[in-house]
Amino acid sequence: MAAKKMVDQKLPQIPGIRLAAVPAKIKNWQRDDLLLIAIDEGAAVSATFTQNTFCAAPVTVAKEHIRGGHIRALLINAGNANAATGERGLRDARACCVAVADALHIEEQQVLPFSTGVIGEHLPLQKLLDAIPTAAGQLQADGWNTASRAIMTTDTRAKAASRTVKIAGEQISIVGIAKGAGMIQPNMATMLAYVATDAAIAQPLLDELVREAVAASFNRISVDGDTSTNDACVLIASSATGPQIDDLKSAEYALLKAAITEVHIELAQAIVKDGEGATKFVTVQVNGAASSAEAMRVAFEIGESPLVKTALYASDPNWGRLVMAIGNAGVEGLDTEKVDIFLNDIQVVEAGGRASDYTEEAGQKVFTEAEFTITVELGRGGCSEHIWTCDFSHEYVTINAEYRT
């Protein structure tokens, strides 16, 4: 997308959470590349992790530690993914947790480690061990913008979002940061997201909330259809403010969930907009499906098709490719004569064929916009779903072909 400036957002502090970003020189660069997040006692922490079987060492360790509960710190490094690194990779990740635990006087099992960067190279462990005490000495509540920059890799801009919401008369804050510029590109664009609130919420409700918020946000985006070895999304509730929320059906839960989900969606959309080489941001909306799963399948078949994505790049309303993608989604018994397609409010396909009053000029006008919506009506049932995608450009090939050179 056009201009990608590093303008700091006004982000709230989250009582009970402090951060520090430091330069550990993990790569040969001059920037912060190690982020420490410290969480006061009494917080609830939930997370979702990559489904990739070849998950990285820090993911294995983080999954193990979070099962024990009582998480007190997160450590995130950029520049090295510590993935496909075998037993030594696991030892390195654990050594980092021990160093954080020593610096913060907590247990090793209370630390979650995260890494993003090159696959297949060992962590420069000593550099991390040297930098961890420095970070621990610099923790402060006002650090989210700095933090959002420290976790970047191929991102062209930092990603952060925030909301405030009044619950039972008290103002609750939510702030989130994320990185990722391909849905993944395994060497450098893992998707990582950290969202924090000072609300007080029971652990089972937070687990449910992160699951639903991720389903509504990060699980609806596609840049290149691949999934990283290191993806993770963490949601922290510090419990510093407001009433304890422990009823899934309460108004308080609904309010908190809505605000937290908005932060997730804003971060997810920011990743697509910063997609490698992306020039278009497109919502694919599928209505009239027999099930949600079916609607999602059709939406992703469109949003991930290289042929659709190159047509988006060319601003070419090549609706034959939309029809082809729908036909490839494996919708059993689809009656193609019930399928309608709209580009914003312009109907391009009517009853499976070209709409009678569609003109190429009208379609072209929509496709030249930087943001628009493709809506598919399947005419099979009452289920709707949507995803967000971007185009496939020469720049994408250049970035990914020349990445290591």
Q: Site residues (CB under 8 A) for a second copy?
A: 52-55, 81, 83-86, 89, 118-121, 182, 184-187, 224-229, 305-307, 310-311, 313-314, 316, 318-321, 323-331, 334, 336-337, 339, 349, 351-354, 392-394, 396-398, 400-405
Measured from the CB atom, the residue of 206 and 312 that comes closer to a second copy is 312
In angstroms, the CA 262 to CA 197 distance is 13
Query: Taking every pair of C-alpha atoms in the chain, what is the biggest distance, in angstroms?
Result: 71
Q: Is the dihedral of CA 270, 276, 279, 284 positive or negative?
A: negative
CA distances from 328 to 237, 331, 336 (A): 42, 8, 12
Length of the chain in terms of residues written: 405
- Smallest separation, CB 404 to a second copy (Å): 5
CB atoms within 10 A of CB 405: 4
Measured from the CB atom, the residue of 253 and 319 that comes closer to a second copy is 319
- Smallest separation, CB 130 to a second copy (Å): 25
In angstroms, the CA 361 to CA 28 distance is 50
| E-only strand ranges, 23-143 | 34-39, 44-49, 73-80, 111-118
In angstroms, the CA 368 to CA 240 distance is 48
- Smallest separation, CB 285 to a second copy (Å): 19
Measured from the CB atom, the residue of 55 and 167 that comes closer to a second copy is 55
- Smallest separation, CB 119 to a second copy (Å): 3
Measured from the CB atom, the residue of 81 and 232 that comes closer to a second copy is 81
- Smallest separation, CB 78 to a second copy (Å): 16
In angstroms, the CA 271 to CA 283 distance is 14
Measured from the CB atom, the residue of 270 and 378 that comes closer to a second copy is 378
For 151, the token pair is 């976790």
Residue 197 annotated in active site: no
Catalytic residue among 153, 190, 241, 375: 190
In angstroms, the CA 391 to CA 223 distance is 8
For 124, the token pair is 């420069």
The catalytic site residues sit at 190
